[in-house]
Amino acid sequence: MNWSFQLYSARNFQPWADVLKTLAEAGYSQVEGFGGVYADPGALRAELERNGLAMPTGHFSLDMLEGDMGGARRIAEALGIELIVCPHIAADLRPTDADGWRRFGERLARVGAAVVAAGRAFAWHNHDFELAPMADRSTPMEHILSAAPDIGWEIDIGWTIRAGADPQRWIDRHGARIVAVHVKDIARPGQGLDEDGWSDVGHGTVDWPRLMKSLRARSAARYYIMEQDNPNDIGRFARRSIEAARAF
């Protein structure tokens, strides 16, 4: 398997040249981009190639995708990004009921159509709020997937569990929509206190061997991307996570 790495995890461990070298030496062959690395796509592409890395997926803000699709397309073309992922909506902009989330899904459907017209695939990336039940017991994610039937889903397993949801249930119901996976682990009680409660993959509480078996069998996922939102040692996180994941 070609394991990928979300570069947001390494935002506090600059320079990027050192980060990419560390990832390549650890055994990664792919990385996932985010807004903080797109300033000079040509230079980044050269650094990726120098380390034998590819960037098949990348996160792009909703503002950019709605306001500057041409710019997003140029970045994607320069870096070889095949799957454009929209990762977030700020808390003060989030809908508060089912109808609002259906309209948001329709908005994502329009963005997805524009991304496809630009020659790329499109997916939404979840955090915890999309999986948390609302007053009517429905979840935002249900309405997003229903209102935008042609977009993919980059499921973040860690945030799904933090929302109190069972990732297996979502894989069983919507595996065909899952095109990428954020491989993230949650620290054991009393651990990871300076890492926002996250863990190196395979060293926390998530049953990754079982979930990986299910994802391989029941989802359309092509990309498996390591992420830790606030690691205190990027080299340790990168190495220990891929070493554990190779046994999944």
For the cut 90, the answer to whether the pLDDT of residue 1 exceeds it is no
What pLDDT sits at residue 31? Answer: 98
Number of domains in the chain: 1
pLDDT average, residue stretch 86-95: 97
Q: What is the pLDDT of residues 53-76, one digit of tens each?
A: 999 999 999 999 999 999 999 999
Give the pLDDT of residue 184. 98
pLDDT in tens, 177-190: 999 999 999 999 99
Instruction: Give me the pLDDT at residue 36, please.
Output: 96
Rounded distance between C-alpha atoms, residue 71 and residue 117, angstroms: 14
Domain extent at residue 140? 3-245
pLDDT digits (tens, 9 = 90+) for 99-117: 999 999 999 999 999 999 9
Report the chain's mean pLDDT, rounded to a whole number.
Answer: 98
pLDDT of residue 74: 98
CATH number of the domain enclosing 25: 3.20.20.150
Burial of 240 (0-12, 13-18, 19+ CB in 10 A): middle
